Chains A and B, each alone.
Chain A
Amino acid sequence: MTKGKRLAGTIIIPVLVLIITNVICMSRGVTMFENSLNWLTFARAVANVSLVTFALSINLNSGRFDFSVGSIALLSSVFSATLAVNHELSPVVMLALSLLFGMLLGLASGLVYVTVKLPPMIVSLAVALFYEGMAYHFTKGHGVSFINNRELLDFASIPNYLIIIAVALIFMIIVFDHTTFGYEYKALQSGQKVSVNIGINEKKNAVICYAIAGLLMGAQGFVSSTTTGSIQMALNFGSIGPMFMAFLPMFIGGYIGRFSNDKLGYLLGAVSTSLISLLYVRLDVNSSVQQVVSALLLVGFLIFLNNENRIKNLFRKH
């Protein structure tokens, strides 16, 4: 494949989305990126979506459906925010704590999975319930609030979000594309039995995957909590919502991965969906319409992805 084709394949989707969203906005007399606040909204959305997409993709690409990512973000941010508020910690320390707690919670989830050897979906349901309950019990249902802590709230800035996004992307590329762990991960992904038979320690690999996913969700929990300065509790699987925002970026990432790097693809997928989010904000689109449009985009893109050859043949005939 030529460099030109690779580049085209990599950027075509985000560029198309950028053009279309801008055209729609202009037709309504609105500018997409009118001021710095719009850029901030966009950067925050990219950070949120890309972190969740990275986290979900780690396990989903190995056939492990994980409902517990939202609960890990919730509980890790509860712990880190409580410590930050009680000990007047800086946002960087709070972020570090969130990452640490996220990683530990993910690790615990992974250890449960490899110990009980139950289908990951089942394990994730139990973990989600447990972590939600733990967060509720820890805060006595009140959640955590730091709306008066300007230092923590001021973390929400474009440079900080860009740093988080860049670090997450570089981390994912290095760990999954340039380490032994990453090679073993890919081997297990494509041939589980064969990989185990040749001596790859599947359990260790799975536990590390869960820990990394937890680390990323710890970051997402931090980004989310510093947006409003408060963390609301969730019970009865109320925390599984964030998981669904990652599917479209993941599929876009999978497509882009053919031309370049799938992690970069996930990020560009997040950029694409965040542009759409910003469009909703700029045009004040109501929630029902947002849901329908997002669903149609997901199905539409999947139809394209799973029927590319048919579509190509259709065009060739004509």
Chain B
Amino acid sequence: MDNEKIIRREKIKNIIFQVAPVVGLIIMFALFMILAVIKDINIPYSMKNILNQSVIVVVVATGAIFIYTLGSFDISLGANMCVSALIGAMAYNRTNSLLAMLAFCLGTAVLISSVCSILASVFNLPVFVTTIAMLSMLNAGVLMLIGANGTGDIVQVPAAAVSAINTTWFKLLVLVAYLAISIFVFNFLKLGRQEKFVGGNPECARLTGLNNSRLAILGFIMAGIGVGLGAFLTITYAPTLSRNTASSVGMDVIISIVFGGMPVSGGSRSKIYSAVVGALSMTLLSQIMLMLNLNSGISQMVKAIIFILVVYISMSDNRKNILPR
């Protein structure tokens, strides 16, 4: 009887901590709505705005989960997105084809991600350091591409060309489609299970015959698809690209994923929906800060405190007697 009680309590505890990030999102949304009513803001417009602001990070972060699940991380996602968007935009300007733009965005992003992971696999390099080197190379590449384009400090796609797809429905469609595919791959195909295994215990995974390098490459390819879609959506939302395009995406992705309850070390506790929950929570938090009209320094300090509180609660059940690394 006692054992049954303990088991039931543990099950309930597990469920609570599984949904803790979602509860955090609900709290954030509730706070947002309370403030929105107090400040009398345009709520429907705000909702659309929240989608616009979070969709790119959600898409890129969802792809990045395939990397984080392996216990790696990629700091060059933002730079990858910038290069992919630039090449996509340049492709559009030469072909006047949105499909070509999409193809080049996806192709470039996947190629860059693949190169990163192949380099790491073939030469036994730590992935995160390879991505640090890739970050420098891509930043230099951005300047060279902008210079080569010859139109000053920007690369531009005509606004009229993308206005038809710069709609809430199109973005929702892309988001839902990519999310559905990612959920399917992550939860129902062996790639997801194998990635969780490698993230949880790479040595054990290797000994059971899993090819860690192959999984890393596939994971980076999935992430690359997310980055390519993110690049395409960036062009549709803001068709003027510069060297600072997507500069904050790399850090936004890490924060979103963590905010959404994803363990940074990957493994079996990885959740594909962390990106959605985290990105939306982050966007809502930014909206709350804006409505409060705090100065930049205080706003950032408040965000930091809320961030650590939310993550602390969502990871409460994973405390051991040794410090995490």
Residues on A lying within 8 angstroms of B by beta carbon are 62-64, 112-114, 116-123, 125-127, 129-130, 132-138, 141, 192-193, 196, 202-203, 206, 235-237, 240, 244, 247, 251, 287-289, 291-292, 294-296, 298-299, 302-303, 306-307
How many whole Å from A308's CB to the nearest CB in chain B?
10
Knowing A237-B251, A302-B123, A306-B124, say if A295 contacts B134 (CB, 8 Å).
yes
Over the window 303-325 of chain B, the binary record of Cβ atoms lying under 8 Å from chain A Cβ atoms (1 yes, 0 no) is 11101100110010001111111
Taking CB as reference atom, which chain B residue is nearest A304?
B123
Cross-interface CB contact of A235 among B255, B296, B322, cutoff 8 Å: B296
> Does A137 lie within 8 Å of B301, measured CB to CB?
yes
Q: B140 contacts the other chain (Cβ, under 8 Å)?
A: yes
Q: B295 contacts the other chain (Cβ, under 8 Å)?
A: yes
Residues of B contacting A299 with CB < 8 Å?
Answer: 119, 125, 130, 133
Tell me which of B13-21, B41-49, B81-89, B257-265 binds A: B257-265
Q: B254 contacts the other chain (Cβ, under 8 Å)?
A: yes
Number of residues on chain B facing chain A (CB within 8 A): 48
Complex Cα gap A159–B174 (Å): 60
> Does A306 lie within 8 Å of B125, measured CB to CB?
yes
Residues of B contacting A138 with CB < 8 Å?
Answer: 297
Q: B12 contacts the other chain (Cβ, under 8 Å)?
A: no
Q: B167 contacts the other chain (Cβ, under 8 Å)?
A: no
Complex Cα gap A247–B320 (Å): 30
Q: B300 contacts the other chain (Cβ, under 8 Å)?
A: yes
How many whole Å from A190's CB to the nearest CB in chain B?
13
> Does A118 lie within 8 Å of B308, measured CB to CB?
yes
> Does B140 lie within 8 Å of A136, measured CB to CB?
no
6 closest A-B pairs by CB:
A137-B297, A133-B300, A136-B297, A63-B325, A133-B301, A295-B136
Taking CB as reference atom, which chain A residue is nearest B125?
A302
Q: B168 contacts the other chain (Cβ, under 8 Å)?
A: no
Cross-interface CB contact of B307 among A125, A236, A240, cutoff 8 Å: A125
Q: How many A-B residue pairs have CB under 8 A?
A: 146
Knowing A135-B297, A295-B134, A307-B124, say if A119 contacts B324 (CB, 8 Å).
yes
The 16 listed contacts between A and B (C-beta, < 8 Å) are A63-B325, A119-B265, A121-B264, A123-B308, A126-B304, A129-B307, A133-B300, A134-B297, A137-B295, A137-B298, A236-B251, A244-B136, A247-B129, A289-B140, A299-B130, A302-B130
> Does A120 lie within 8 Å of B255, measured CB to CB?
no
Residues on B lying within 8 angstroms of A by beta carbon are 73, 119, 123-126, 129-130, 132-137, 139-140, 143-144, 248, 251, 254-255, 258, 263-265, 295-301, 303-305, 307-308, 311-312, 315, 319-325
Taking CB as reference atom, which chain B residue is nearest A297?
B133
Cross-interface CB contact of A288 among B140, B263, B301, cutoff 8 Å: B140
Residues of A contacting B126 with CB < 8 Å?
Answer: 302
Complex Cα gap A5–B223 (Å): 45
Cross-interface CB contact of A292 among B136, B304, B307, cutoff 8 Å: B136
Knowing A126-B307, A237-B251, say if A134 contacts B301 (CB, 8 Å).
yes
Complex Cα gap A47–B296 (Å): 32
Knowing A136-B296, A298-B129, say if A291 contacts B140 (CB, 8 Å).
yes
Taking CB as reference atom, which chain A residue is nearest B300?
A133
> Does A62 lie within 8 Å of B325, measured CB to CB?
yes
Cross-interface CB contact of A192 among B124, B255, B311, B322, cutoff 8 Å: B322
> Does A133 lie within 8 Å of B133, measured CB to CB?
no
Residues of B contacting A251 with CB < 8 Å?
Answer: 129
> Does B297 lie within 8 Å of A141, measured CB to CB?
yes
> Does B304 lie within 8 Å of A129, measured CB to CB?
yes
How many whole Å from A9's CB to the nearest CB in chain B?
21
Residues of A contacting B140 with CB < 8 Å?
Answer: 287-289, 291-292, 295
Taking CB as reference atom, which chain B residue is nearest A130?
B304
How many whole Å from B223's CB to the nearest CB in chain A?
18
Residues of B contacting A125 with CB < 8 Å?
Answer: 251, 254-255, 258, 307
Knowing A118-B308, A192-B322, A303-B125, say if A141 contacts B296 (CB, 8 Å).
yes
Known: A116-B312, A206-B323, A306-B123. 17 other contacts (CB 8 A): A62-B325, A117-B319, A117-B324, A118-B324, A119-B264, A119-B324, A129-B300, A133-B298, A137-B301, A192-B323, A202-B322, A287-B140, A287-B143, A288-B144, A291-B139, A295-B137, A299-B125
How many whole Å from B129's CB to the nearest CB in chain A?
6
How many whole Å from B84's CB to the nearest CB in chain A?
18
Complex Cα gap A61–B305 (Å): 27
Cross-interface CB contact of A244 among B132, B312, B324, cutoff 8 Å: B132
Knowing A118-B311, A141-B296, A235-B296, say if A129 contacts B129 (CB, 8 Å).
no
